[in-house]
Structure 1
Amino acid sequence: MELNRQLIWKLSVIGLILLVLWKVISEPDTISQMMHYTFQLLTPIIMGIAIALLLNTVLSYIEERFQLKRYQGLLIVYIVFIGILVISAVTLFPRIYSSLASLIEELPSYIRQIDGYLSQLNTYLKEYNATVAQAIDFSRFQERYSGWVETAVLSSVSYVSSFTMTLFNFLIGIVISIYLLKDKEIFARMFKRLLYAIFPVASAKTTIDIFQEMDYIFKRYIIGKSLDCLIIGVLAVAGLLIIGAPYALLLGVIVGVLNFIPYVGPLLGMIPAFIITYFYDPFTALIVLLFIFLLQQFDGLWLGPKILGDSVGITPFWVITSIIIGGSLFGLVGMFISVPVTAMIQVVFSRLIDYRLSRKNLNELL
Structure 2
Amino acid sequence: MNEHQKEDAVDPPPTQRRVAKRVTMISGIAILFIALAAAVVLAADALLLIFACILCAILFYKLSEILARRFPMNRTVALVIVVAALLGIIGIGSWAMAPQISEQSTKLAQEVPAAVERLKTTVEQHPIMKRVVAELPPPEQIVKQMGDMVPNAGLFFGGVIGALGNIVIILFVGIYFAASPHTYTAGAIRLVPKARRSRAREVQQELGNTLASWLLGKSASMLIVGVATSIGLSLLGVPLALILGIIAGLLDFIPYLGPIMAGVPAVLLALSISPDLALYTVLLFLGIQLIEGYALQPLIEAKAVDLPPALVIVMQLIFGTLFGFAGVALATPLAATLSVLVRMLYIEDILDDRTAQKRSP
**TM-score for both structures, normalised by structure 2:** 0.77
Aligned 8 A contact 1:246 1:280 in 2: no
Counterpart residue identity of residue 331, structure 2: S
**Alpha-carbon deviation of 1:63?**
4.4
Give distance in 1, aligned partners of 2:208 and 2:23.
Answer: 27
Partner of 1:56: 61
Partner of 2:73: 67
The 3 A distance-change label for structure 1 pair 336 and 23 is closer
Q: Please, which moves more after superposition, 87-96 or 298-307?
A: 87-96
Give distance in 2, aligned partners of 1:79 and 1:177.
Answer: 14
Identity %: 24
Aligned 8 A contact 1:47 1:170 in 2: no
Partner of 1:326: 319
Partner of 1:204: 197
Partner of 2:17: none
1:200-221 Cα offsets, whole Å, 9 max, x none, are 42x2211221111111111111
Give distance in 2, aligned partners of 1:185 and 1:234.
Answer: 37
The 3 A distance-change label for structure 1 pair 106 and 310 is same
The 3 A distance-change label for structure 1 pair 343 and 151 is closer
Q: Does 1:312 align with 2:305?
A: yes
1:328-365 Cα offsets, whole Å, 9 max, x none, are 2223322222112112112222222222233xxx778x
Partner of 1:78: 83
Gaps of 5+ in 1: 1-7, 25-30, 126-131
1:225-265 Cα offsets, whole Å, 9 max, x none, are 11012112111111111111111112222222222222333
Counterpart residue identity of residue 16, structure 1: I
Q: Does 1:169 align with 2:166?
A: yes
Q: Does 1:41 align with 2:34?
A: no
Q: Does 1:273 align with 2:266?
A: yes
Aligned 8 A contact 1:46 1:173 in 2: no
User: What's the secondary structure of 1:309's corresponding residue?
Assistant: helix
Give distance in 2, aligned partners of 1:320 and 1:112.
Answer: 31
**Alpha-carbon deviation of 1:302?**
1.8
User: What's the secondary structure of 1:346's corresponding residue?
Assistant: helix
Give distance in 1, aligned partners of 2:304 and 2:42.
Answer: 31
Give distance in 2, aligned partners of 1:200 and 1:11.
Answer: 26
Where do 1:123-162 residues align within 5 Å? 136=131, 145=138, 148-149=139-140, 152-153=143-144, 156=147, 159-160=150-151, 162=159
Q: Does 1:301 align with 2:307?
A: no
The 3 A distance-change label for structure 1 pair 174 and 115 is closer
Give distance in 2, aligned partners of 1:61 and 1:240.
Answer: 34
How many aligned positions are there? 328
Give distance in 2, aligned partners of 1:11 and 1:158.
Answer: 46
Give distance in 2, aligned partners of 1:98 and 1:261.
Answer: 26
Give distance in 1, aligned partners of 2:328 and 2:30.
Answer: 25
Aligned 8 A contact 2:270 2:277 in 1: yes
Q: Does 1:353 align with 2:350?
A: no
Q: Which among 190, 193, 203 is matched to residue 193 of structure 1?
A: 190
Q: Which among 272, 276, 281 is matched to residue 288 of structure 1?
A: 281
User: What's the secondary structure of 2:238's corresponding residue?
Assistant: coil
Aligned 8 A contact 2:271 2:278 in 1: yes
**TM-score for both structures, normalised by structure 1:** 0.76
Counterpart residue identity of residue 249, structure 1: L
Aligned 8 A contact 1:43 1:169 in 2: no
Partner of 1:253: 246
The 3 A distance-change label for structure 1 pair 348 and 282 is same
